């Protein structure tokens, strides 16, 4: 509800907001910043808070909710590697399963070394790590996981089109828990409408190589990038539906998100990656 309030507040805020007084909300007419706000891995530093509410699931009774915090961190070339890097650290801070238990989830870290970033096209490869930090058996997999990952993105005019693929594989952990090997595909697309508004879609598909089950959601969201004082902020709301019948999985739900954007944390010339 807080995310909805911020998003709706940006709608009714006057387009001619006053100077930076710490109270006014002004639209940001920067398509490139809007693209970065919608990108799963970003060329700018972002602190993201996201909540996914699931009223109904397939194969299990009850409601569910996942609250996550994430940090996108671009690293300039030669900071760690001779390539610029785009990293994403995801921390599920509160997962409520349909059974009613609530706990921390598994920590995930994705790092992509950008091998090419010219003419509006970006692609790279890297590793995905999953750490068994869940506090409840129902909120994590109980396995240390490592696997390959890759990303590609295309940015023609107002569009952002791309795909992230990750395949973490378990190699250690609780022996009583099942081994894991699954492909996570996240196609993403967004279009900048102007005045900071954008539409987006980022379904997170899962193909479990061991069980043969899959998750194939569809989603479509609306968001806006604006300023509160000097701070760039992005908010969105995105309903989703699961088209596969494999359970237990969410049948449908709603994702709300807010991001704090820091486009000047590192100059573009140092990262070597154009927005």
Q: Has residue 2 been placed in a domain? A: no
Tell me the backbone φ, ψ of residue 31, rounded to 5 degrees: -55, -35
Q: Has residue 36 been placed in a domain? A: yes
Which two structure tokens, joined as six digits, stand for 191?
Answer: 């279009």
Round to whole Å and give the CA distance between 170 and 179: 6
What integer best gives the mean pLDDT of the chain? Answer: 83
Round to whole Å and give the CA distance between 76 and 82: 9
Round to whole Å and give the CA distance between 46 and 119: 24
Q: Is the pTM of this model over 0.85?
A: no
Q: Has residue 19 been placed in a domain? A: no
What confidence tens digit (pLDDT) does each residue in 143-184 have? Answer: 999 999 999 999 888 999 999 999 999 999 898 899 999 999
Which two structure tokens, joined as six digits, stand for 184?
Answer: 């996570």
The tokens 């987006």 sit on which residue?
200
Three-state DSSP at 128 gives strand
Q: Has residue 12 been placed in a domain? A: no
Q: Got the DSSP string for 225-269?
A: EEEETTEEEEEEEEEEEE----SSEEEEEEEEEEEEEETTSS-HH
Q: What is the CATH number of the domain that holds 106?
A: 2.40.160
Q: What pLDDT band is residue 15 in, cutting at 50, 70 and 90?
A: very low
Look at residues 196, 168, 181 and name the one whose alpha carbon lies nearest to residue 35. 196
Positive/negative CA dihedral, 238, 147, 129, 41: negative
Higher pLDDT, 193 or 75: 193
Which two structure tokens, joined as six digits, stand for 197?
Answer: 């508004």
Domain limits for position 94? 29-220+240-263
Q: Has residue 156 been placed in a domain? A: yes
The residue-averaged pLDDT of 241-252 equals 85
Round to whole Å and give the CA distance between 136 and 100: 12
Q: What are the Cα distances from residue 84, in Å, to 63, 154, 212, 265? A: 41, 17, 36, 15
What confidence tens digit (pLDDT) does each residue in 16-56 have? Answer: 333 344 333 334 345 688 899 999 998 899 999 999 999 98
Q: What is the pLDDT of residue 16?
A: 33
Domains of the chain: total: 1
Residue 53: CB atoms within 10 Å = 15
Q: Has residue 208 been placed in a domain? A: yes
Which two structure tokens, joined as six digits, stand for 65?
Answer: 């909710």
Round to whole Å and give the CA distance between 190 and 39: 8
Long-range (24+ apart) CB contacts under 8 A made by 163-170 are 163/187, 163/188, 164/40, 164/41, 164/110, 164/188, 166/110, 166/128, 167/128, 168/128, 168/129, 168/130, 169/145, 170/141, 170/143, 170/144, 170/145
Q: Has residue 233 been placed in a domain? A: no
Q: Has residue 16 been placed in a domain? A: no
């Amino acid at each position: 509800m807080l995310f909805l309030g911020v998003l709706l507040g940006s709608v009714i805020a006057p387009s001619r907001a006053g100077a930076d007084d710490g109270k006014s909300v002004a639209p940001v007419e920067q398509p490139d910043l809007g693209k970065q706000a919608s990108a799963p891995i970003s060329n700018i530093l972002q602190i993201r808070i996201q909540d996914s509410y699931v009223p109904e699931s397939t194969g299990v009774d009850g409601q569910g909710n996942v609250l996550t915090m994430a940090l996108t961190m671009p690293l300039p070339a030669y900071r760690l590697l001779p390539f610029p890097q785009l990293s994403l650290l995801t921390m599920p801070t509160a997962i409520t399963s349909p059974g009613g238990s609530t706990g921390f989830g598994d920590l995930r870290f994705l790092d992509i070394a950008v091998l090419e970033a010219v003419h509006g096209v970006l692609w790279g490869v890297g590793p995905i790590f999953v750490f068994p930090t869940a506090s409840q058996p129902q909120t994590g997999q109980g396995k240390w996981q490592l696997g390959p990952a890759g990303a590609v993105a295309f940015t023609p005019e107002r569009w952002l089109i791309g795909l992230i693929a990750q395949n973490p594989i378990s190699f250690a952990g609780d022996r009583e828990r099942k081994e894991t090997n699954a492909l996570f595909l996240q196609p993403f697309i967004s279009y900048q409408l102007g005045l900071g508004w954008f539409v987006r879609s980022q379904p997170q598909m899962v193909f479990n190589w061991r069980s043969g089950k899959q998750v194939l959601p569809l989603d479509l969201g609306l968001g806006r990038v604006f300023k509160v004082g000097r701070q760039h902020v992005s908010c969105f709301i995105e309903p989703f539906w699961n088209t596969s019948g494999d359970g237990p999985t969410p049948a449908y739900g709603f994702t709300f998100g807010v991001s704090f954007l820091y486009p000047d944390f590192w100059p573009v010339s140092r990262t070597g990656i154009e927005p």
